[in-house]
Amino acid sequence: MNARRAARALALALGLALCGCTQRQLGHHLTDVSGLVAPLEFHMTDQDGVPVSAASYRGDVVMLYFGYTHCLDACPTTLATLADAIEQLGAQSRRVRVLFVTVDPRRDTEPVLKRYVSDFGPQFVGLRGTDAQLTDMIKRYRVSYHYEKPDASGAYEVDHSSAVFIFGRHGRARLLAQTGAPASVLAADLRHLLART
């Protein structure tokens, strides 16, 4: 009798878990990550050398991406898509920020970062942290990066996450955009997030 009751409870728990835990897929390349990913929180320095934190961007919809300026394909492609989406927002684009966190702070000094992000638009912020600040951030967002072997000239590539984490205006994580998310879909979701108070 006990066993049957326990089996029923187990089935119920599994059913609930299945309903509650599965990833909610929106469209093709965007996933709802509300309540899954940690809220926006960090301490770093921006491309002008000014210390900034999550509070500096409260009230804006924030897109967080980890990369490096020497990146050949993934970073420029992703950032260009984000720029495209932002352009489609028109006047609303003032309330959107892209935080580009460098995982290669040795080469990505503040002037280098500043030159790089300004190519994509005024909404783009380059963030650079100490080793401890960067480690805190990759632990918090459960992402990773690692350096490849340098070539003869000392140049090296960095393997890094491809996720774009999108936070609402109060700093709560809302969406995760994967490589290949079309700019129009992103723009629609950004509009939706901007409309939420």
Q: Are 58 and 170 in contact (CB under 8 A)?
A: yes
- Under DSSP, is residue 172 helix (H, G, I), strand (E, B) or coil? coil
User: Which of 59, 87, 148, 196 is in the footprint of another protein by CB under 8 A?
Assistant: 148
Structure tokens at 168: 């609402």
Q: Exposed (0-12), middle (13-18) or buried (19+): which is 147, by Cβ within 10 Å?
A: middle
Smallest CA-to-CA distance from 181 within 85, 62, 97 is with 85
Stretch near another protein under the rule CB under 8 A, chosen from 29-37, 76-84, 105-113, 183-191 = 29-37
- Asked whether position 17 contacts another protein by CB under 8 A, the answer is yes
CB nearer another protein, residue 109 or residue 161: 161
- Asked whether position 130 contacts another protein by CB under 8 A, the answer is no
Stretch near another protein under the rule CB under 8 A, chosen from 45-53, 93-101, 158-166, 181-189 = 158-166
**Total binding residues toward another protein, as defined by CB under 8 A:** 34
Chain centre to alpha carbon of residue 139: 13
Q: What is the DSSP string of 97-151?
A: EEEEEES-TTT--HHHHHHHHHTT-TTEEEEE--HHHHHHHHHHTT--EEEPPP-
User: Which of 37, 44, 86, 96 is in the footprint of another protein by CB under 8 A?
Assistant: 37
- Asked whether position 144 contacts another protein by CB under 8 A, the answer is yes
Touching another protein, residues 169-188 (CB under 8 A): 176, 178
- Asked whether position 6 contacts another protein by CB under 8 A, the answer is yes
Structure tokens at 117: 């992000």
Contact positions toward another protein, by CB under 8 A?
2-3, 5-7, 10, 14, 17-18, 21-23, 25, 31, 33, 35-38, 139, 141-146, 148, 159-163, 176, 178
